[in-house]
Every structure is written in C-alpha cells, then in structure tokens.
Amino acid sequence: MDFIHEDFLLHSEWARRLYHGYAAAEPILDYHSHLPPEDIAQDRSFRNVFEIWLQGDHYKWRAMRANGIAERFCTGDASPYEKFLAWARTVPFALRNPLYHWTHLELKRYFAISKLLDETTAGWIWDCANSQLRQPDLSAQGILQRFHVRVLCTSDDPCDDLAYHRALAESGAACAVYPTFRPDQALLVHAPEAFNRWVDQLERAANREIASFASFLDALQQRHHYFHASGARLSDHGLPYCYATPCAESEAAKIFANARAGRAATPDEQERFASLMMFFFGRLDAEKGWTQQLHIGALRAINTRARTEVGRDSGFDTIGDDNQASRLCAYLDLLEREHALPKTILYNLNPADNYPFATAAGNFQDGSMAAKIQFGSAWWFLDQKEGIEGQLNALSNTGLLARFIGMVTDSRSFMSFPRHEYFRRVLCNLIGREMEDGELPNDEPLLGKMVRNICFENARQYLGLPIREPHQASTGGNGGSQQVAECG
Ligand SMILES: [Zn+2]
C-alpha cells in the first residue's frame, strides 16, 4: 500500500465514514494566505518543482540547516536542481516532522507521485513533476480550480493599489480573491527609518500629505475604505503580544512627530502608540462589519548573524513565551467597552496559550451571532497533527467546536492546499475515535453535519465574503479525483 493512501490518518471506521462522506468533497475557503495576487492574476506557470515548492519555504530551510546542509543550498546561489537534491537528501531525516507528511501528500495530490522522496528517487521525481507542471491545471489558477478553492484571501499592505485584485474581480474567475488589510508597519515608531519610508508610501497611496498624526489616521481610514470597496472584509495583525495601554491622542501625536523627525520612540512610548493604533484599527473593522485576525506570539528573526546574512522571514523565528492572557483580554475589553469589538479570530503560536486564548474568546461572545470571537486554527509551528488536535481539544472543552470556522493554509506556496485535507483527516479521526468509543453519539447526520460545516459552511456564513458560482462540477477540496498521467 502507498504511504499516502485513501485512509491516511483515518484510524477508525467512523473516521473514514466522516472523512469520505462529509469532508473530502467540501470546497475550500482559504481566508488567510500569503499567496501573491500577481501570480494569480497573471495565472503564473511554474518552470520546475523548485519554483512551485521550495522557493521561499522557510520550513524546509530550517530542516535542511538542521540536517547539515549549507545555506547555499537553502537560500543561496545553488542551482534549482541542487537545492531540490539537498531537500531530497533531508527528507528521510524528517521522519515524524510534519514536513514528512506534507511532502508526500503534496507530491501525491499534485503529481500522483507515490514514491518516497530521497536522494535515490530525486532525479525521477524532478523529471516527473516538471513534465506535469506544463499542464494548464497546474498553473496558479488551474491549481485553485483543481482544489476547489472558492475563496482566497491574500495579505496586503494598506499602501497596495490592489490592481491585481481588481483585475481578478473583473475576470470572473471561479475563485474569488479578496485582499486583507495588514497594517503592521503603522506601529513602527521605534524604527523611524522603516516607519518613514512606509508613511511616505502611504502618502502616495492615499494621495494626500501626512503632516500630522490626525492626517495619518485619516489616510489609514481612507485606505481601509478603499480595501472595503475592493472586496476586503478582513484585517490581520502580527503581534508579539496584544497592546492594551493606549496613550492619549495628544501624546500619540508627539510620538508620531518625533518618529517623522527621525527620533525613535522608547519601548514604552511604542507600546502606548501601538495600543492606540490597534484600538483605532479595531474600531474601523467594527464599523464596517469586518473580521480582525490577531496572530500573536512569534519572536521573529532572533538570530542576528543569520538575519544580517540571510534576512528576515528566512526561518529564524521561535515561539515566544510572553504573558499573553491578561493583555489579550485587556485589548478585547477596551474595544468591547466602546461597543467597538469587531468579529475577531485569535491565533496563538505557543501551545501553552491554547486554553488562555480559547477562554479569552469565550468572555466576549455577545449573543449577536454564533462564535463572534473565534479561537483560530493551529498556526505555523502548531500546524501539525498534535497542534491541530490541541487546538480542537481546547476549543471543544471551553467553547463550541460546531461553530468553528476551520482551517487556513497561511502559506506562500501554491502547493499548500492539501493542508486543508490534512486538517480534515485529523478532525475526522478525532471525532470518529470518540464515536467509536461511545463518547460521541453514533449519529451520522449530526456529526457529519458538524464536520461539513467546519470544513466550509461556517466560514462562509461567518466571514460574509461573496462566493461565485463555479462553472464546472466540484472535484472536492483534496484535488484527489483528478487523473494524472503516470511518469515513465
Ligand atoms: Zn499569515
């Protein structure tokens, strides 16, 4: 039997019935990703498996470095095939790392390749995958169609003109692609050089002079309106922890003016300024009925030598252990006091924060809708079987699993859509086991409906993003029904 077979991860009869009967055919609503909208609008084709699979993948770089592979073969100047071979040599050492599952699931779903990747199979797999990449159903839009992705949200800077999103909206493509408002750079008053570069961009994007803090806020609000008019209904923030000690606007104006003059805010000033900005962004989202996403708890680029030589976002980040719960609750409470708390999705990076985050969400459910505050899917280092189960268990034990809006890829790669399949298998396995044990009723319609809703319908209702009617019959979210030519 192939390693990735049809009942992969499904260890009971109920798990298999739930997955094949209720989860596999559901479409995908990927409400948080980092795919470049340009690639989708231009329907990018990929020349080789390096381009579509390895380029930009810091998960793989970390594993390769840990396997003794030199930086040249990760982010350096080695050829695409040399880098692929270096990855292939690493895979047999990645047993029990989620990369081992993902690698083989992705090779199977995109190229119908069942061989295990290692040094001896690398050449054959390289040729087999590359020959298939020339087919139209493996272009950027071909992949979205193949995996039945009905909605995709990208992550975008407020200064972005969203030209590609607008072109996609006019194109009538089956997958609706929406922008997400991600204003992290608006908090950088402690780094005036980067902050001023960004504010200058904001001036151009908003087509107005930003001479004061008030005009800074106006320009951001104007961009938020523009994103709304371009279809956005979500924002996203990457934070080490929640900022919840806002200063008065008069103090923020001074901190802003200092930063514009090149004088860095102190850590304390930055925190108070950022708190005020996060309160402002929350209000904007609430006014427009958006959903804000908070990705909390990463310590980023902590290896100074590597950051200098290789750069940020290259696989030198770790799980932070800041005290999260009180600051998260204080931030949500600030907004709630003003009746300005938008729909919110909370993502933690530290597994020790599963229960604090899940219970923080519970404090702010207001009865206006189902699960207005969501405990978000397992993120980044937690996006693996144990991490997914941990998130599902904390949510089940302290909230309503049946109201959960499900998985996101949070990915920069077009080869990540099987993450949804992986999540669905883990979900069905967890529920199926408890049905088997009698801890959940053997009520197939009841449990099947919950599974189906978590895969797609809950997110559709919660986010309110318009979905286009597909031109063709559904193939299901795992892309697995596609017949792919065998390689010789
Ligand atoms: Zn993300």
Residue 451 has pLDDT above 50, yes or no: yes
pLDDT band at residue 469 using 50, 70 and 90 as cut-offs: confident
Ligand 1 centroid – CA 273 distance (Å):
23
Ligand 1 centroid to residue 34 C-alpha, Å = 6
Residue 471 clears pLDDT 60, i.e. is over it: no
Residue 486 pLDDT:
66
95, pLDDT greater than 90: yes
Band the pLDDT of 474: cuts 50, 70, 90: very low
pLDDT of 348 higher than 60: yes
The model's pLDDT over 257-315, given as tens digits with 9 standing for 90+, comes to: 999 999 999 999 999 999 999 999 999 999 999 999 999 999 999 999 999 999 999 99
411: CA distance to ligand 1 center in Å? 7
Q: Report the candidate in 296, 250, 289 with the shortest Cα–Cα distance to residue 273.
A: 250
Distance of CA 229 from the midpoint of ligand 1 (Å): 23
Average pLDDT over residues 415-424: 98
**Protein residues within 5 Å, CB atom, of ion ligand 1:** 410
Residues 420, 33 contacting (CB under 8 angstroms):
no
Output the pLDDT for position 473. 43
Above 80 in pLDDT, residue 459? yes
- Rounded to whole angstroms, the Cα distance separating 163 from 260 reads 29
Distance 32 CA to ligand 1 centre (A): 6
- How much is the pLDDT for 422? 98
Q: Say how many Å lie between the CA of residue 433 and the centre of ligand 1.
A: 31
Q: What is the pLDDT of residue 481?
A: 47
Average pLDDT, the chain: 96
The whole-number average pLDDT for the span 326-331 is 98
Q: Tell me, what's the pLDDT at 477? A: 59
pLDDT in tens, 208-230: 999 999 999 999 999 999 999 99
**pLDDT higher for 12 or 135?**
12
Span from the CA of 410 to the centroid of ligand 1 (angstroms): 5
Of 481 and 33, more confident:
33
pLDDT of residue 484: 56
Global pTM reads 0.96
Interval between CA 396 and ligand 1 midpoint (Å) = 24
pLDDT at 478: 65
User: Has residue 475 got a pLDDT over 60?
Assistant: no
Distance from residue 412's CA to the centre of ligand 1 (Å):
9
Q: What is the mean pLDDT of residues 139-166?
A: 97
What tens digit of pLDDT does each residue of 186-198 get?
A: 999 999 999 999 9
Banded model confidence at residue 462, pLDDT cuts 50, 70, 90: very high
Query: Each residue of 314-325: pLDDT tens digit?
Result: 999 999 999 999
CA of 182 to the centre of ligand 1 (A): 10
**Tens of pLDDT along 355-395?**
999 999 999 999 999 999 999 999 999 999 999 999 999 99
pLDDT tens for each residue of 171-191: 988 899 999 999 999 999 999
pLDDT of residue 485: 55
**Mean pLDDT, residues 96-100:** 98
The CA 202 to ligand 1 mean position distance, Å, reads: 22
